[in-house]
Amino acid sequence: MTALKNDTFLRALLRQPTEYTPIWVMRQAGRYLPEYCATRARAGSFLNLCKTPSLATEVTLQPLARYNLDAAILFSDILTIPDAMGLGLYFAEGEGPKFERPLREEWAIRNLQAPDPHDHLRYVIDAVAEIHRALDNSVPLIGFAGSPFTLACYMVEGSGSDTYKEAKTLMYSRPDLMHHILDVTTKAVTDYLNAQIEAGAQVVMVYDSWGGMLSQAAYLEFSLPYMARIMEGLTREYSGRVVPRIIFTKGGGLWLEQMAQCGTDAIGLDWNIEIGDARRRVSDKVALQGNMDPSVLFAPPAAVAAEARRILASYGKGSGHIFNLGHGISQFTPPDHMQVLVDTVREDSRQYHV
C-alpha cells in the first residue's frame, strides 16, 4: 500500500475521524468547465472522450487543478456495460444516450451475456490505470458503474424516458425476464467494478439513477437486492487497503433504512432529504454523501455558502459526512460558484471535527 497524501475521503467513508468534511462533486469533470469543453471538442464526441484513456485522464484531472477536492472520479458513462453487451450505444445530438438495439425480445434477453471487462471494456480499465498513475497518490480515485436496475431500464427502453413505459411494462408483465436481465447485469457490474479496483480505483460507487421511479415494493424486488449482490461480490481489500462502497439511488430517500443494510459503506443522498434526518434514520451505521441541490450554485456566492453551512450543520458533529451535490453539477454553473462551495465546505466544516 502506498500512502495517499490526502485520504480524508476514505476515512470519512469508513466513519473514521477526519479534520474536516471532505468534498467532491458528481460530474465535477463536466461542461461547466471551459477546459473540459476544449478537450471534448478535441475528442470530437463524448463517446470518443470516454473511449480514449489519455483524454479521459485529462478531463478527470481538470477539476482537481482548479479546486481543493478530496477525490477524483473516473470520467466515463454508466452505459459502457450495455454497449459492451452489444446494444450499440450512441449519442444523438441534444437527445442524450440511445441504443441502436434496445432489449425487447425474449430471445435477445435470453442471449444476454456479461462482458469480460478486460475485453470490450478494456478502454475503461486502461483509463482507470492511467488516471491512477497520473493522480500520483494525491487523492483517492472513485470507480463507478450503473446499478443493474438502471442499466436494465435503459437497455429495455433504448433511451432515457420520463415514464419508462417499456421497462415498466416488461417488469410488471414479465418479471421473470426482468430478473434475468438483472441477473446478467449484476454479474457484469461486479466483474467491471472489481477490474476497476485492480486497476487502481480506491472507492467504488453504484449509480441507481432510476431506482427512485419505482414503488417501494418494486424497489425492494428489482433494484436493492441486486445492489446487495454486487456488494457481496466486490473485492473488499486491495493492495492492503479497504475499498469502500457507495450506493446512490436518486429519489430513494424513503428507503434509507433498507439501503443501509445492503453491505454498502455509504449512501449518496439527493437533495430532497434533510441530511440530519437521514443520519438519524441510519443511526450512523453508514456514511452519508450529499446533498446540496445543484441549482443552489446558480445563486450568488453568499447564498451558496449559506446553504453549504446549513447542510454541514444539519449533519452535525463527527465523521461520516462526505459533502457533495444531490445530483450532477449543471453545465450552467459558474465555475467560481463551485470554488466558493469547495472553499466554504473545507473551512466551515472544521468546527464539526474537533
Min CB(245)–its own copies separation in Å? 24
In the complex with its own copies, which residue's Cβ is closer, 99 or 271? Answer: 271
**Contact residue for its own copies among 45, 111, 159, 300 (CB under 8 A):** 300
Residue 257 grid cell: 433504512
Annotated active-site residue in 70, 77, 83, 191: 77
Taking CB under 8 A as the criterion, which residues in 316-335 touch its own copies? Answer: 326, 330, 332
Residue 110: active-site member: no
3-state secondary structure at position 113: coil
Q: Is 154 a catalytic residue?
A: yes
Spatial separation of the C-alpha atoms in residues 192 and 187, rounded to whole Å: 8
Long-range pairs, 229-235, Cβ under 8 A, ≥24: 229/186, 229/190, 230/148, 230/186, 230/189, 230/190, 230/193, 230/206, 231/262, 231/263, 231/264, 232/263, 233/186, 233/190, 233/194, 234/190, 234/193, 234/194, 234/197, 234/204, 235/194, 235/197, 235/198
Q: In a 3-state reduction of DSSP, which class is residue 118?
A: coil
Residues in CB range of 8: below 8 A, 6 or more apart:
18, 19, 20, 22, 70
CB of 299 to its own copies, least distance (A): 4
* Set of cell numbers at residue 163: 415514464
Least CB distance to its own copies at residue 2 (A): 39
User: What is the rounded CA–CA span in Å between residue 165 and residue 213?
Assistant: 11
**Residue among 192 and 248 whose Cβ is closer to its own copies:** 248
The answer to whether the beta carbons of residues 186 and 265 sit under 8 Å apart is no
- Considering only 16-24, 43-51, 65-73, 249-257, which stretch makes contact with its own copies by CB under 8 A? 249-257
Pick the binder of its own copies from 94, 215, 283, 354 (CB under 8 A): 215
- The x, y and z cell numbers of residue 284, run together, are 450512523
The 3-state DSSP composition of the chain as helix, strand, coil percent (nearest 5) reads 50, 15, 35
As measured in angstroms, the least distance from the Cβ of 71 to its own copies is 23
Q: Of residues 7, 15, 20, 27, which has the active-site annotation?
A: 27
If the CB atoms of residues 1 and 217 are measured against its own copies, the closer one turns out to be: 217
Per-residue binding letters, 159-198, with its own copies (x by CB under 8 A)? ----xxx--xx--xx-------------------------
219 is annotated as an active-site residue: no
Catalytic residue among 154, 164, 192, 315: 154
192 catalytically annotated: no
Is 241 labeled as catalytic in the residue annotation? Answer: no
Question: Per CB under 8 A, does 299 bind its own copies?
Answer: yes
Q: Which one-letter amino acid corresponds to residue 43?
A: A
Q: Are 127 and 117 in contact (CB under 8 A)?
A: no
**Position 212 contacts its own copies (CB under 8 A):** yes
296 binding its own copies? (CB under 8 A): yes
Dist CA 353 CA 84 (whole Å): 44
Nine-digit cell string for 106: 425474449
- Beta carbon nearer to its own copies, 77 or 221: 221
Examine residue 217 and tell whether it contacts its own copies (CB under 8 A).
yes
Pick left, alpha or beta for residue 318 (phi over 0 → left; psi -120 to 50 → alpha; otherwise beta): left
Phi-psi category of residue 73: left, alpha or beta, with phi > 0 → left and psi -120 to 50 → alpha = beta
For its own copies, the closer CB: 233 or 251: 251
* Range in contact with its own copies (rule: CB under 8 A) among 11-19, 144-152, 287-295, 338-346: 287-295
Contact pattern for its own copies over residues 109 through 148, marking x by CB under 8 A = ----------------------------------------
Q: Which of 15, 32, 40, 245 is catalytic?
A: 40
Q: How far is CA 351 from CA 53, 182, 310, 347, in A?
A: 40, 44, 13, 8
Positions marked active-site? 27, 31, 40, 77, 154
User: Using CB under 8 A as the criterion, which residues of the chain lie in contact with its own copies when the complex forms?
Assistant: 163-165, 168-169, 172-173, 212, 214-218, 251, 253-254, 271-274, 277, 291, 293, 295-296, 298-300, 303, 307, 310, 326, 330, 332
